[in-house]
Structure 1
């Protein structure tokens, strides 16, 4: 039995048809269809996924490798490449950046008044408080040619002026699948309206806003659970160019390839030529060789370093030495005293990481547990420690994380410490083990975790923080709350949009 060749989505670049400037979009689409072996697959689905005219000259279509080879011999063909799958790469930031309601850059730029920011991401939560029209937003600019593709058209307003989703040839709802998800977060950082009394678990209370709170938002959803299709991203850039956006924000990426092989970089160059300012994220990887993403010279590529605010937790060792960490768990009474235990360290039972099966019959009851960092599982670690009877946790950075610490919403007293501090704590333990070899499981090493509810610590090399992420709900007092304190490079980029004038 002959096995059928698999279809996949290819982005095909072709020459522009003759007298292109006189043709309508449907005529150009017919020109693109002329390259295809037929218009539909055996399943009845259309072969043509997208027709491009502005971002690139070409189309995206479902083809087999043999069909692509047949197209290569046709007049007007330039090149074809499989569509790549890309990944999705604070109340305080405006003040930190020196933005003031009364004078300076915010006033000079009218807080982005009249600017249209297009966000290419995972969609948006349209009824989010950061995107409500409070009556102070001006009408959408006359040049705006976009559409509101929500079933409920009233979800669009003078702040959120348009939204559309691209998933192959389908046009699903452009909603963010997760309430307050990645796309909602990025849009809020770029142009969220002012929201008073925003806080994270009652901490860092203040007024949240985007960097350009008076700008309009246009949303282009291209990211789903399977990732972000390159063909859909080019289609979103194409649509944004036709719609009349001033700025394009793309917080997504993948390992860099030569620009002439990168359909998205080619599309962004077309956008820049059309006088659209394009801003992209540098990625979350590194620091190591070739870890920078989206490094084309014609776009603004933005990364994040650190900021000057942290919610601190102090670790006091048995020898009186105090070291600093961070924690988003900040109840009114925050202290835990106990003996240290480090499952999986040295001759200890269990494995490092404090995941569900890490303790392996190790008795952690009443103790403060040391846990090597498990990226993306911080809260799970604290749940596991608490369920096992631990009274506190210290999350230890490895050399890979370096100086990066995060303030997560743990479920028990916790301090996340950087690699240098982690090394000091481990060295202290090794010294005590050597001195008291009869003490099994590092018993008799008292440690105190304590905290201040909010502490300002001056750091240098500031690029961005994301404490101004839009609120995602309300606390028991009715005040807006945020998701967490997590910081990612790809969310640093939207802060720059407020500084781009028309």
Structure 2
């Protein structure tokens, strides 16, 4: 439905916000994200009255409030019916050169789970990068962690003081440890002599030990806003990931109003599935 006189969807979206300023006067309206890879939408900070006005504008299908979701984990290998024997071990290359976009609380790159022994450079066509911030820079990436980004704008829009620099790393570095737990579950390099305080000694290995990791920190101390999660999904796919891994809960709502579900459907249309 984008009018032809706009060069891009972004310009169209900005014009919608500018029109509201003309109608209602200056306010705290702010464009946060434009989504064009997985879905045609934008995220903006609006008052309740502004959201109601936006909902009746030409070209607006729906206005959906951003929801806050919590991080979670599950037993993916068992859910998929995979085990260390059978087809998984006999015919699998264990994720060789598959790039997994991990959308979570970030990463603690010094963990031995992310050693890159035996892994060469990033696969051809990879367009990601390793962003710098407090406690993290490009030197923390290697042949296993080939990309690391962080997304904070949509989270801070709820309250500029939510991210407390003295408590959280405004960077891809993991402050919560959840992302550093889920990433090895997917792509942990094989580590021997692992135990739980001396019990259950053995070898720890992720589902795809030869896979690469693209870290997207989209979850912070209070949780994960879906506007930020979708922005991370968009960037991960633009960078060239093959799979997206998200261990984040969701609210009980119809899929047509679930921003992340709609984005996941768009990802499948791009040939990328969510784990």
Same-fold status (TM-score > 0.5): yes
Q: Tell me, yes or no, if structure 1 residue 154 matches structure 2 residue 139.
A: yes
Residue matched to 2:161: none
Q: How many residues align?
A: 248
Q: Tell me, yes or no, if structure 1 residue 140 matches structure 2 residue 89.
A: no
CA distance in 2 between counterparts of 1:35 and 1:19 reads 14
Show CA shifts across 1:339-362 (max 9, x none): xxxxxxxxxxxxxxxxxxxxxxxx
CA distance in 2 between counterparts of 1:18 and 1:116 reads 37
Residue matched to 1:363: none
Q: 1:251 offset after TM fit, Å?
A: 0.7
Describe the shift of the 1:235–1:19 C-alpha distance in structure 2 as closer, same or farther (beyond 3 A). Answer: farther
CA distance in 1 between counterparts of 2:225 and 2:2 reads 24
Does the aligned pair in 1 maintain the 2:243–2:274 contact within 8 Å? Answer: yes
Residue matched to 2:149: 164
Unaligned runs of 5+ in 2: 157-168
Q: 1:190 offset after TM fit, Å?
A: 0.4
Q: 1:108 offset after TM fit, Å?
A: 2.2
Describe the shift of the 1:97–1:55 C-alpha distance in structure 2 as closer, same or farther (beyond 3 A). Answer: closer
Alignment of 1:29-428 (within 5 A): 29-36=10-17, 37-38=20-21, 47-89=30-72, 97-99=82-84, 104-134=87-117, 136-151=118-133, 152-168=137-153, 172-178=170-176, 181-279=177-275
Q: 1:189 offset after TM fit, Å?
A: 0.4
Describe the shift of the 1:185–1:70 C-alpha distance in structure 2 as closer, same or farther (beyond 3 A). Answer: same
Q: 1:28 offset after TM fit, Å?
A: 3.2
TM-score by length of 2: 0.82
Show CA shifts across 1:280-311 (max 9, x none): xxxxxxxxxxxxxxxxxxxxxxxxxxxxxxxx
RMSD: 2.6
SS at match of 2:213: strand
For CA contacts below 8 A with separation 6 or more, give which structure has more relative contact order: 2
Does the aligned pair in 2 maintain the 1:144–1:244 contact within 8 Å? Answer: yes
SS at match of 1:197: strand
Does the aligned pair in 2 maintain the 1:85–1:227 contact within 8 Å? Answer: yes
CA distance in 2 between counterparts of 1:84 and 1:257 reads 11
Show CA shifts across 1:421-462 (max 9, x none): xxxxxxxxxxxxxxxxxxxxxxxxxxxxxxxxxxxxxxxxxx
CA distance in 2 between counterparts of 1:262 and 1:143 reads 31
SS at match of 1:270: helix
Does the aligned pair in 2 maintain the 1:17–1:28 contact within 8 Å? Answer: no
The structure with more strand, counted as a fraction of residues: 1
Alignment of 1:440-459 (within 5 A): none
